Copies of this chain bind each other. A is one copy, B any other.
Amino acid sequence: MIIKIDFQSDEALYMQLRNQIIMGIATSSIQEGDVLPSVRQLAGDIGINMHTVNKAYSVLRQEGFVTIDRRKGAVVSLNVDKLKALEEMKKNLRVVLARGCCKNITSKEVHQLVDEIFAEYEKQEEE
């Protein structure tokens, strides 16, 4: 699992970290049951503060992507509330698609993008 932080980005560091871990789970480069590095370890590797990593982990826990075990640390374990997830996705898609729609992106083109991205996920699942 390679984490790449962009210090020039206007996106918060802990948010970048959260998103990359989620994408790591989606591509199965991190799998359910895997243990994330300790907050101190990852902070040292990336070159950011311990608390920033801790905040990312806390958000991941609250959103149901990991459980935090005192003995093991942050363990990938998905708490699947599918109805909630679908609702959240629809809300997010409404914003993303509206932007594209204004720029003449068709539903067909969106479908293609979706397939491309899902292909990225399934491709790496075999590794």
Contact = CB atoms under 8 A, between A and B. Distances in A.
A89 B113 CA distance: 9
Contact of A105 (B85, B97, B99, B100): B85
A68 interface: no
Contact residues of A: prevailing secondary structure: helix
Contacts of A90: 113, 116-117
B114 A114 contact: yes
A97 B85 contact: no
How extensive is the interface on chain A, given as a class?
Answer: 35 or more
Contact of A100 (B65, B89, B107): B89
Contacts of A80: 103-104
A127 interface: no
A89 B99 CA distance: 8
A111 B113 contact: no
A33 to B, nearest CB: 14
